[in-house]
A and B are shown apart, each in its own frame.
Chain A
Amino acid sequence: MTAVGAAVGVLLALLPLAVHNAYFINGMILVFIYGTAAEAWNLLGGYAGQLSFGHAVFFGLGAYTSTMLLAQAGISPWLGMWAAAGLVAAVSLVVGLPTFRLRRHYFALATLALAELVRVLFLNWNLVGAAVGLYLPVRLMNQPWAMIWNTKTPYYYIALALFAAACGAGAWVGRVRLGLYLRAVDEDEDAAAALGIPALRYKLLMMGASAAFTALAGSVFAQYVLYIDPSTVLDPLRSVLFAIMALFGGRGTVAGPAIGAGFLILLSQYLGGALGGFGRGYDYVVYGLLIMWIAAYEPRGLLGLVQRLRLWRPAPAPGAEVQPPAHDGDARGPRPAPAPLLEVAGLAKRFGGLRALDGVDLEVRRGEIVGILGPNGAGKSTLFDCITGYLPASGGRIMLHRAGGPRVLSGRPPHWIAQQGLARTFQLIRVFPGLTVLEHLLIGQEHRGESIAAALRPSPPAVRRRAEILLQFVALEAHRDAPAAALSYGQQKLLAFAMALVRRPPLMLLDEPVAGVNLTVVERLKDYIRTQNEAGTTFLVIEHNMDALMALADRLYFMANGRVVVEGPPEAIQQSDEALNLYYGR
């Protein structure tokens, strides 16, 4: 892929030597500028899954900033475009912080509205020329420092270099850990947070990078067309075009937005020429039809279409090439003294008038397997959600005792809690359908103290080794490159369990680990839990399968109506009339 990209780059660099058609060269310059913006849009909308329809703001602000710096302060665009990129990235982060709380359509809508707001402001702001717009100082024609020429070749190379850089950034993200994290966040943000992935941080990073590249494209566009006004560079239609190019070609890939930009721009240019006699707008009619057709037929875009047409594919060799070490990497230390690990005191959760949790006290000691039992609606899953930060508690205290002192978990976000060494699985299984089995295990790595620079590198060998070991542990080696969506329900449960194990969490919360799977898998899961417990992991398990829980747990809590009714060893619960009456509704 890299080789193909480099070859295409060299060919594009040689193109102006062979082709002298100004109409075509103009088209290619626009392809590069729009392509840069589409690749930039793809950093946020493709990899991070945040569909922005406001990127014209970044494009326009970039164009305005470098132009103002040149026209008013005589600062060369070679410097000004970087100032623009920095400013726009800063603006995007300010915008991103509140906007990232919104999901799905609401994010798209908010960006659309923000873009309109900025356009209206610029239309009426005299300092930046209001509706009249700004002319670039053409008296500086052919002075290289001013980045203004009356020939197209210099622009061609500047735009090409920028485009190559944007493609490079996309390729980089696609190849390192960050790319995996973003795909996970895109597919299921809550499940990603349970692994400790700080979604907001990485989304903001992509927002900043995306805005900066879009601003650079805007600066170069202004230098090329020599005139900007709100209805060109801040046009909401432009935002939509960037998005459509990326989506049309195939979002979340490097080649997609590039192909989309090339196809749509050149189509528009030559279609406009061919149909010019009938009036304008035909190119957009064709765009509309193509977009609808491709969205309904192949949501992965043109690239997906190509992949679908490529019928012959080398069959992957059966996964025999990796021989994982025979011994599990978990060093079994001496069993620590039973000190408390998790302490829950007086935990309350109210939904309106309903008391889902009504003063729950619970303690999990190091090395234990503690079970939680109770009828449906007892508040078990709510308890887990409060402990792991998915629901804010209405009262009470949650403490995790770790080396270096106790940590208060109440009021903290899920990813932070996960980073303290607390892993969880969900009652309704949550894996990332589009990620492969191996990728699940790679993103399960420790995220505590992981810097952005670290996330920009591939997964370290230690994590890869650990992933291979766990792959074998849960017997999914044969499926290592299969997407999770292709696994059976039982296999998905095993995968979710293994994924949570990667970072060796001292405490695991399992919500109905053996529900809905066949007896063989029940036995395997019980074995895994026992093995891991002997290796030093503490477990807190919600389960309806009484036999499994009795066989596993050191202690049980019986919950009903948001309270702990009985607590004790399994035998004691089994003989508690109160618990049995509540459970069987007698």
Chain B
Amino acid sequence: MNLLLIAVVQGLVMGLVYALVSLGLGLIWGVVDVVNFAHAEYMMWAMYATYFAVAGLHLDLLAALPIVVALGFLAGLCTYIVLIRRIMGGPAVTQIFTTFGLLFFLRYSAFAAFGPDFRGITWPPASGSVLILGVPVSTAQADAALAALITFGLLHALLQWTKTGKALQATAQNPAAALALGIEVEWMYMLAWGLSIATAAVGGVFLLTFYQVSPTVGDAFLLLMFASVVLGGFGSVLGPLLGGVVIGLVESVAGNLVSPTFKLAFVFAALLLVLFLRPGGLLGQERRG
């Protein structure tokens, strides 16, 4: 079979998963104008939550999904109210510093609580593989990609077709003007944080069916997420989707056809290239300052 086709299909599938976990990072960046360096850690906690729901409480994955996503939404809300609200409008240094602090706290609390072991689950419906364009892809990964598409569809519909979505977009473009129009900008920020972490949680739930969790799982994902968001631009829902897919393709094609050892190096190189050539992303607009 054509090696390139395999690489492309697998890259697309993983790319959708990357897009799903990156979506929230871009959302907060775009709406709240905060860069959350701890985003991957929320995904890690969602993976642990899923693990304990499935392996500990013997829930089905699909029963655990709404619980974990709701918890994620709450976690995002709390993060905004307790921490982020205090640093809004502060210098970039303070924001970067704060979310790095959050990263340390979240990662090492997991480390202290669960130890360094890798943990995974098996979800019977997702065993085996399916054929996509004639290429075998593990059912677990295909399910995650499907979940990504559904999540993107729902969020896109929310943003485009509801009044709340329009208000969220207005807040992203000009918070002062949005406030003057009577939009509750505070609520929009809370909503953005809630949605952000909730989508990371969806990603975490499905990721666990084929990727084991440990406290440092965020390490591998943090730069992938940033690469996706920066590549696609953070102005829209479609930006991270495109960015994630491109990153998945780069990783898979370069990893399969050139050298698997350096597949992450290719991703980082792609990120640097985009930063230097088009810091606003492929779709987004460059921000000044």
Contacts and interface: CB of A to CB of B under 8 A. Distances in A.
Contacts of A104: 92, 289
Interface residues of A, number: 44
A329 interface: no
A113 B268 contact: yes
A121 B106 CA distance: 29
Contacts of A288: 101-109
B86 A109 contact: no
Nearest to B230: A109
| A101, A103, A243, A299: most-surrounded residue (chain B CB, <10 A) | A299
B276 A98 contact: yes
A105 B96 contact: yes
Interface stretch (A276-284, A345-353, A483-491): A276-284
Interface string A255-292: 00000000000000000000000111111110111111
Contacts of A109: 226, 230, 271, 275
B164 interface: no
B264 interface: yes
A34 B152 CA distance: 44
A288 B215 CA distance: 15
A481 to B, nearest CB: 23
B174 interface: no
| A49, A102, A113, A297: most-surrounded residue (chain B CB, <10 A) | A113
Contacts of A283: 108
Contacts of A114: 268, 272
Interface string B89-116: 0111110111011111111110110010
A102 B277 CA distance: 10
A8 interface: no
Given A116-B223, A244-B97, A291-B97, A285 B105 contact: yes
Given A113-B223, A113-B272, A121-B265, A295 B107 contact: no
The secondary structure that dominates the B interface is helix
| B93, B109, B112: most-surrounded residue (chain A CB, <10 A) | B93
B165 interface: no
B233 to A, nearest CB: 12
A483 to B, nearest CB: 15
B2 interface: no
A274 to B, nearest CB: 14
A247 interface: yes
B262 interface: yes
B83 interface: yes
Contact of B105 (A105, A121, A292): A292
A287 B104 contact: yes
A24 interface: no
Contact of A112 (B83, B101, B223, B276): B223
Contacts of A278: 112
A280 B108 CA distance: 8
A124 B264 CA distance: 12
B120 interface: no
A117 B271 CA distance: 11
A238 to B, nearest CB: 13
Contacts of B226: 109, 112-113
A281 B111 CA distance: 6
B76 to A, nearest CB: 16
B149 interface: no
A98 B275 CA distance: 10
A124 B107 CA distance: 27
A297 B262 CA distance: 42
Contact of A51 (B96, B109, B272): B96
A466 interface: no
Contacts of B102: 288, 292
A102 B273 CA distance: 12
Contacts of B109: 281, 285, 288
Contact of B108 (A110, A240, A281): A281
Nearest to B287: A104
B269 interface: yes
Contact of B264 (A102, A106, A116, A289): A116
A296 interface: yes
A240 B264 CA distance: 20
Given A110-B272, A247-B97, A284 B265 contact: no
Nearest to A244: B100
Contacts of A297: 86
A299 B279 contact: no
Interface string A112-137: 11101100110010000000000000
Nearest to B102: A292
A283 B271 CA distance: 32
Given A51-B93, A106-B275, A285 B100 contact: no
Nearest to B229: A109
B265 A120 contact: yes
Interface of A: 49, 51, 98, 101-106, 108-110, 112-114, 116-117, 120-121, 124, 236, 240, 243-244, 247, 251, 278-285, 287-292, 295-297, 299
25 contacts: A51-B93, A103-B289, A105-B35, A109-B226, A113-B268, A114-B272, A116-B223, A116-B264, A120-B264, A124-B262, A279-B111, A279-B115, A280-B111, A281-B215, A284-B107, A289-B105, A290-B101, A291-B98, A291-B104, A292-B98, A292-B101, A295-B97, A295-B98, A296-B98, A299-B90
Interface of B: 35, 83, 86-87, 90-94, 96-98, 100-109, 111-112, 115, 215, 219, 223, 226-227, 230, 261-262, 264-265, 268-269, 271-272, 275-276, 279, 289
Given A103-B289, A113-B223, A284-B107, 8 more contacts: A102-B275, A106-B230, A109-B271, A110-B271, A120-B264, A247-B93, A291-B105, A297-B86
